[in-house]
Structure 1
């Protein structure tokens, strides 16, 4: 606790950005000298009252023994707090994308030569200080150290208070762009490998009480060695924390990957919302296109009802208690249409997909349970990541090379003359 002179009126907190007059500097220095002298006097009197008197015949070596407890580590054992590096330690190469919470650039570390991704946080329009979403993102990335979660390296700053950058590993692709540019979809063995990596990362996040709340193919990065990494924790939060009076926000998860309980106005939800998004990603890998391409929430609900059938008291006991349940007119009961939509998926794969896309969040499969599903042990087995093919990186500015046009077959013609030895000579 710092000592401050008593005053009848509270003084405004000064910062290094305020301009000080010479009179203010002199009075401030005099005040510091008085406080320092007062603290030194109080410390001396306190030590003299607590330290027992040493007899005059005590040996000199005994007098030099430290008076602090041996169970308290000295201050040299604590790590020193170092300032953030400057963003100018990196060379900007190109812009990758711009999202709701930041702009991502590709850059090169000038000291090591490493290629990294710089995410510039959008702070220009912030009126209430540093945004809570950025704090949650940095905290979540530091808490979820995993091989399938993008690694945060450091946080660097620019010349102004609105220039804050999060430095992360650069990954060549995102799954959404890759699915769009691939000439053919992933094989079943490759889908199993990607799903196991995704489930492993989500299980690790949930074990650390982190909800991602925006899982989608554009937030899944993939390198040229077949490894995917979950990125963009801008909407993530620790779901074990106390929830406010209004409950958890419903403005989470991109529409096509949003769970039905959020669509129906649930103010409390669990890790099951991430598992619904995982099910949508699984279906997108199989179809090579998003499963629910709706333009609004009502259309999305109707598409979900058409695939899963309308919810009942057996499939979703808490459906009627949701805030918006009474405003929805349910269609006539129909059986689920999974088999008609996914013709070539095995029975085990279909069971996993239906376990992920389950109405009741309490019955929805968890990430740890999904990793033990028989789908991943049946033939074909998951392919090793090193066996994946490589693709040009759109984030790195690479373009797919166009194949050379091969010449057409020769056409027979009456006046066509072959080369003779005379022509060659």
Structure 2
């Protein structure tokens, strides 16, 4: 707020308003908004979560087991189903925005880009999410089309223990998507040829979907779920509620219970401790 001259930013007001409305075990809880000694000092008091999944994935010595991945994904999908039931799109889903408590409870956080939506659906800003964690955003977003690809990327990253589509530019990102899912066309994506920017890109010819080659150990049910999440055709993508009913979560290994999730060192709170200076040692000796 120190650099703000025109009051609270509209994005902050949106986030505060939404979080005050939301109450769900898998959504981070905003308990209070506190103003400090000056109006520029504004604090959001939230329920404390010890971990974020991005830090965990970077620091874990061994990856999550498939049962633990299913536990995380079920909690994420329950939180998303609740958001969509309340006509809210998060629009910034990625592992760094998923928090986890030491009791294994996963919570969706960071609602700075979230929006409410209604019927009929109004156009929203198409480019809102950082490149490495997502695939393609549609100009016309629905509850299913806006979350599917991001959830697919999160599931794939948890299973593979690394980002699925680590593109550093839009062109590279599109190429990685085509390599993985095949070249889109009118047969698998009706209306594709009429998309606004299709004529500006020359996509490589890739006739095959390579998800099965990428995740050779994954069951048929797991591959079906990934394919549903990465479906090119927006009309055929699954909703969060549909994904919760996937047979992938009902086959072995079954999802573990949240309280049986492992606990980890608090990587976010690590501080580099340097050797105490002579001055500080002197002050300590005088105390």
Of 172, 185, 193, which aligns to 1:299? 172
Equivalent position SS for 1:312: coil
**What CA RMSD, in Å, does the superposition of the two structures yield over aligned residues?**
1.8
Q: Give the superposition deviation at 1:182.
A: 0.8
Of 233, 248, 262, which aligns to 2:124? 248
User: Match of 1:327?
Assistant: 200
Relative distance call for 1:373 and 1:138 in structure 2 (3 A) is same
**Does residue 269 of the first structure (1) align with residue 141 of the second (2)?**
yes
Normalising by structure 1, we get a TM-score of 0.61
Contact 1:257-1:276 within 8 A present in 2 as well: no
**How many equivalent residue pairs?**
271
User: Match of 1:393?
Assistant: 266
**Does residue 141 of the first structure (1) align with residue 57 of the second (2)?**
no
User: Which contiguous aligned blocks of 4+ residues in structure 1 show a shift greater than 6 angstroms?
Assistant: 241-244
Contact 1:189-1:380 within 8 A present in 2 as well: yes
Q: Give the superposition deviation at 1:254.
A: 2.1
Structure 1: distance between partners of 2:36 and 2:121: 34
Relative distance call for 1:331 and 1:180 in structure 2 (3 A) is same
1:210-289 matches, within 5 Å, as 210-240=88-118, 247-260=123-136, 262=137, 266-271=138-143, 272-289=145-162
Contact 1:174-1:221 within 8 A present in 2 as well: yes
Between 1 and 2, higher relative CO (CA 8 Å, sep ≥ 6) is seen in: 2
Q: CA-to-partner distance for each residue in 1:360-379, whole Å, 9 max, x for gaps?
A: 22111110000001001111
Structure 2: distance between partners of 1:391 and 1:345: 26
Normalising by structure 2, we get a TM-score of 0.90
User: Match of 2:240?
Assistant: 367
Structure 1: distance between partners of 2:135 and 2:117: 16
For structure 2, the residue ranges without an aligned partner over 5 or more in a row are 273-287
**Does residue 197 of the first structure (1) align with residue 197 of the second (2)?**
no
Structure 2: distance between partners of 1:169 and 1:155: 12
User: Match of 1:21?
Assistant: none
Equivalent position SS for 1:352: helix
1:142-181 matches, within 5 Å, as 142-181=20-59
User: Match of 1:79?
Assistant: none
Which has the larger share of helix? 2
